[in-house]
Amino acid sequence: MHLFTPAGADEFLAHTQGALEAREVASNLMLGVALQLRAYPVVEQQPYFAVVEDEGGLVAAALMTPPHRLIVHAERGDAQIGFTRIAHDLREHRWQVRGVIGPGDAADEFLRIWQRLTGATVRRMTHERVFQLDHVIEPRWPPGEFRAAHADDAPLVAEWIEAFHREALPDHHHPDPVEWAKRRIGEGDIFLWEEGGRPVSLAARSRETPNARAIGPVYTPPERRRRGYASAVTARLSQLILDSGKRYAMLFTDLSNPTSNSIYRKIGYKPVCDYNAYLFD
């Protein structure tokens, strides 16, 4: 079993892309981030790439874009040795690992290995589910209309994204919300549900894989929830993704939030697999 650490996304994908695309939606986080790094290789900090192979092919892989968590992938059930090699390489080269995320068994296996090696303790744990949609079931449409955000919406989008991060991801590293809003609006990836000329809910188009496009985050201010706005903006954006030629729209949900899991199922999303995410002290 051999570990090597590719210098860039091209080399990493040369060894992993086929396996990741075979389970494209389940592997969308690692695959989407790697494809984005190949297209836009300039980042603030050098990413970490690791691949473990044997004579049978890919065993395990890991990718990290500091300061974000390590993303792990187990291609086979015997990935424990592969993850052990990756963990030792990370420690030997003094990479700061703030957490790990991946399909449940893979994330849990790496966590056990990392804790034995380093004594790390878990500060926060979340259980998430990946969903995919290939046909939109129309919800009961609330009053209002769907539209792309424009430059004048940037202050509100920034305010909402900051509120989303405080509520859903309080312990994570986040980009500056104003810069994020301006950039993502400029890229055409922010969409709003508007009622009476006033935005009431937001959905963003996120990472892309060959046959799918992710949605996230989705945010509605607390005072405007339970009115169908999140269902409406997500359904419209999901249809936009399908109309663009993608086979699937996909998204992550926090399993501790029964409301979001329910509304996405009602508009046609089906569960694919579960992810576990851990943040370390």
End residue of a domain, out of 85, 120, 155: 120
Q: Is 86 exposed, middle or buried (0-12, 13-18, 19+ CB in 10 A)?
A: buried
- Please report the pLDDT score of residue 261 as a whole number: 87
Q: Are residues 156 and 201 in the same domain?
A: yes
End residue of a domain, out of 88, 120, 152: 120
For residue 34, the enclosing domain spans: 2-120
Q: Strand order in 57-64's β-sheet? A: 2-4, 48-54, 57-64, 70-74, 99-103, 270-280, 122-133, 248-254, 212-219, 198-209, 190-195, 145-148
Q: Are residues 143 and 84 in the same domain?
A: no
The amino acid at 77: G
Could you tell me if 134 and 248 are in contact, meaning their C-beta atoms sit under 8 angstroms apart? Answer: yes
Q: What is the CATH number of the domain that holds 31?
A: 3.40.630
Among 123-127, 154-158, 197-201, 245-249, the minimum mean pLDDT is found in 123-127
- Give every CB contact of residue 175 below 8 A, 6+ residues apart in sequence: none
Q: Are residues 33 and 137 in the same domain?
A: no
Checking if the pLDDT of 42 tops 80, the result is no
For 133-154, how does the pLDDT look when each residue is reduced to its tens digit (9 = 90+)?
999 999 999 999 999 999 999 9
What domain count does the chain have?
A: 2
Q: Are residues 143 and 114 in the same domain?
A: no
- For the chain, the maximum distance between any two Cα atoms, rounded to a whole number of angstroms, is 62
Q: Are residues 181 and 143 in the same domain?
A: yes
Q: What is the CATH number of the domain that holds 189?
A: 3.40.630.30
Q: Are residues 31 and 100 in the same domain?
A: yes
For 44-60, how does the pLDDT look when each residue is reduced to its tens digit (9 = 90+)?
789 999 999 999 899 99
For 58-102, how does the pLDDT look when each residue is reduced to its tens digit (9 = 90+)?
999 999 999 999 999 999 888 999 999 999 999 999 999 999 999
Strands 248-254 and 122-133: antiparallel
End residue of a domain, out of 65, 100, 120: 120
- Record the pTM: 0.93
- Can the peptide bond before residue 67 be classed as cis, meaning omega within 30 degrees of 0? yes
